[in-house]
Chain A
Amino acid sequence: MKKLVEIKDVYAGYGGGAVLKNVNLDIYDNDFIGVIGPNGGGKTTLIKLLLGIIKPHQGKIQWLPETSEHEKLNIGYLPQFQSIDKQFPISVLEVVLSGVMNRKKILSGYTRQEKDKARKMLSRMGITHLERNTIGELSGGELQRVLLCRAIISNPQMLLLDEPNTFVDNQFEGELYELLKELNEQMAILLITHDLGTITPYVKTIACVNREVHYHKSNVITEKQLSAYNCPIQLITHGEVPHTVLGKHNKS
């Protein structure tokens, strides 16, 4: 097991205010973490922290803490669906290829191998025929697939997904989780979800994010534990038959 990220006593947020308080979290290369928590609790902030888009106010975050400084952690990222401008004039193939942009020198185009790889990604998602379409012509589910292609085309060591199941049809949702399970053999995955119910057989551990981050080293979590974590959310416990229990909301 290789440690990919180490977060120590981190406070972070936008502007002056801290959304996340006292975060301690280590991510290893074979992790599959399901991130749950109320809206505004800091789930997306956590992802932005991991991506290096926002810097901690206090504390320390280290990528690949145990290896030499020259090695850079390759992170794949699927942003929140709402953050994408669906009317932007860009083709599906271009979006997928943008996932390998960091390896490009200025002016050099994409190689045949890169284009082939992008097409392979699209065919894996079953959307080869949409290659030349612009993203405005896609359904929500199709666009999610394109964004997922972009996130994994560079074979990242860690994959961050911000609610990948938004606007996805039920059939693809199942396929998506199977795909993630497969990908998890090669990369760590951290997935934000509102719907822990369907994902719970796939995740290995659960992180509850509500200002603080409580890391739960199992994919089974009870209402009692959740309330101890101060994490009001729809939750699942699974025994013989998986079932869903609604957690109580905080009155405070």
Chain B
Amino acid sequence: MGNFITELLNYNFLINALWASLFASIICGIVGTYIVSNRLVFLSGGITHSSFGGIGIAYYMGANPLLGAAIFSVLSALGIEYFSARGRLRQDSAIGIWWSFGMAIGIIFIYLTPGYTPNLMTYLFGSILTVSRIEIWFMAILAFIVVMFFIIFFRNILYISFDEEYAHTNGLPVNLIKYVLIGLVGLAIVINIKVVGIILLISLLTIPQSIANLFTKTFKNIIFWSIGIGFAGILSGLIFSYQMDIPSGASIIFTLVLFFLIGKLVQLLKHKIYYLVNKNK
């Protein structure tokens, strides 16, 4: 532990990882609460995995993989929203198809790319220690946009999520807000690929919220708690991975699930104590 802190101050990549943890927890805390409350977990999983298609195409064309993933995932997010709003498809089947189709495209293009494809594993399993300065800046900008959007449109977002039809009859800009939100979901996913990787990313958007929901019940509070829990989880996971010399992405998820179990235990104890106290009254 002491080792980690001294090295933290000496190595730039550790400081980058620290910033990445902070912005990732802010973005995931907010966007994840929207995802969980609206039951968009499966949709988000689909967008995450299909973004691998964008990475593959970018590799093939020699472009920045994350840029490819960003274009791919935002377009697929908007596309899924567009078609399901019109009721033209069964959403869960369509997501299932898109999920695997995106990955298939990724695999084909990476196979076709001549030579060795470096860092492929980074995108699949994440590597928070390799996050670059410029990527930190992108995370900071996205975090700022997400925070501002949720502050300004908080009630719109809350009411549209709770009862879309009623919000519509109340004259709220339902479609506009929903498209912006799903676009933000797409961007949030891509920007966090480096942190835990495509395969593990969905957990960053759902576990902090599930823990938060054990102790607090309103949309706003779940956001605040999720940010804190996410940050604590990513940091401890990072330290854990550093000390044990295991991959950081998996270590972060493992830590978060551990947090969840502890949270569940605390909740059970709280109920038990509450019950005992009231029984003695």
A14 touches B166 (CB 8 A): no
User: From residue A95, how far is it (CB to closest CB) to chain B in Å?
Assistant: 7
B155, CB-defined interface residue at 8 Å: yes
- Which residues from chain B contact A89 at a C-beta distance below 8 Å? 37, 213, 217-219, 222
Interface size class of A (residues with CB under 8 A): 20 to 34
The distance in angstroms between the C-alpha atoms of A150 and B219, with both chains bound, is: 19
Interface size class of B (residues with CB under 8 A): 20 to 34
User: From residue A252, how far is it (CB to closest CB) to chain B in Å?
Assistant: 28
Main DSSP-derived SS at the B contact region = helix
User: From residue B223, how far is it (CB to closest CB) to chain A in Å?
Assistant: 10
B152 touches A101 (CB 8 A): no
B7, CB-defined interface residue at 8 Å: no
- Which residues from chain A contact B152 at a C-beta distance below 8 Å? 106-107
Partner of B158, one of A52, A94, A99: A94
Given A88-B37, A102-B171, check contact A134 B217 (CB 8 Å): yes
B162 touches A101 (CB 8 A): no
B217 touches A136 (CB 8 A): yes
Main DSSP-derived SS at the A contact region = mixed
The distance in angstroms between the C-alpha atoms of A94 and B171, with both chains bound, is: 17
A88 touches B155 (CB 8 A): no
The distance in angstroms between the C-alpha atoms of A201 and B158, with both chains bound, is: 39
B163 touches A102 (CB 8 A): no
User: From residue B169, how far is it (CB to closest CB) to chain A in Å?
Assistant: 5
B219 touches A90 (CB 8 A): yes
A65-100: contact bitstring with B at CB < 8 Å (1 yes, 0 no)? 000000000010101000111001111001100110
Looking at A48, A84, A98, which has the most chain B CB atoms within 10 Å of its CB?
A98
B-facing residues in A122-138 (Cβ within 8 Å): 134, 136-137
The distance in angstroms between the C-alpha atoms of A52 and B169, with both chains bound, is: 7
B161, CB-defined interface residue at 8 Å: yes
The 15 listed contacts between A and B (C-beta, < 8 Å) are A14-B87, A53-B165, A75-B169, A77-B166, A84-B163, A88-B37, A89-B217, A89-B222, A90-B218, A90-B219, A95-B162, A98-B163, A101-B172, A102-B171, A134-B217
User: Using a CB–CB distance below 8 Å, which chain B residues touch chain A?
Assistant: 37, 39, 87, 151-153, 155-156, 158-159, 161-163, 165-172, 213, 217-219, 222
9 nearest A-B residue pairs (beta carbon): A134-B217, A102-B170, A102-B171, A51-B169, A98-B159, A89-B219, A88-B162, A90-B162, A89-B218
